[in-house]
Structure 1
Amino acid sequence: MSRPVMKRETIEESAIRLFATKGLARTTIKDIAGEAGVTEGALYRYYSGKEEMAWKLFNRELDQFTHLVSEVLFDDRMPFDLRLGLAIQTIYDYYTYNGDQFAFILLTQHGFPEDKLLSRETEPMAMAERFVGQAVGAGEIPPCDADLHAGLLMGAILQPLVLHRYGKLELTSETPALVTASCLRMLGLC
């Protein structure tokens, strides 16, 4: 791997870590450069500023995350409950192994203009709405308000991870199964 690619990766990893811990608004170019061990000028070789960097990194990380989840969530070869359980396990595994990236995706989305986020097909809430709507249409779950139930699912799945991130909840290997059971009950399947 060439030195410029390594430098860019170091800058991007540092930026994600800082955006995930300090937030988008409180992270400066100087912070990112210091964390990455480069000059501020090195950042400007790759990005015009912090906002462009954050938006490009957000899109990249969100696309990687949603690709993993959607592969399981929309695999019609499996029954609904198995798809939901595997998607939840995928989300919890991603959080476990990519905590900064997960926090960056979850927390940074609120720092971008709303019109940018609403147009995304891969936005997690839109995916959840589509998943619930398709399940209702296929008769896999009882009729319900897909938007409301998608929001309830997202809360049930993500809130334990937020609580863990802030040291208020211990996650165990059983947590994804417990969350899945709660989600299935919420959807009237248990």
Structure 2
Amino acid sequence: MSSPGEAGDDAEIIAAALRHPERFAALFDRHAAHIHRYLARRLGGQVADALTGETFLIAFDRRDRYDPAFPGARPWLYGIATNLAGQRRRAEQREYRLRAALGPPSDHDSHADRVAERVSAQALTGPLAAALAGLAPRDRDVLLLIAWEGLAYDEVAAALAIPVGTVRSRLNRARKKVRAALAPAPAEEVSNHG
């Protein structure tokens, strides 16, 4: 175990926070940016601000139930955040539709990069947002944790408290539906009515 001056792994921080609650702040410092980014991508910045704080409040309240066999708490935190996002699913679908109309946010340095990125992304934003909104919530959760947050299958399984095989099947189903939604429509055949 780490010396009192060192933070240690996440499980050690959580264990120490049972007796010294102020130590839980180190967990926030390590993971808040990741959780916020995930929630902002799903629900927008203002909602992400509130839900990031709520994620860590719930984690703090449940710190006595954390399984110390897992040295990294990020999947646990993603699970809490995903559950909070699930409580706002209808608002999330409205947000996807709004984002489809507005286009993607830009984070590039140059104006030329922003314009090129926006033109490219606008071609897919509407159909992609519609495809994401049309997914079953459980399938969307898996897809977004893997695609946006880069979690491995076992991390998604831990975050959502489901078996890895379920992660794979949900991801496969989500990918098929998104691909089908983004596939170009076949050209209509011209029929001769002679």
Q: Report the TM-score, using the length of structure 1 for normalisation.
A: 0.35
Q: Report the TM-score, using the length of structure 2 for normalisation.
A: 0.35
Larger radius of gyration: 2
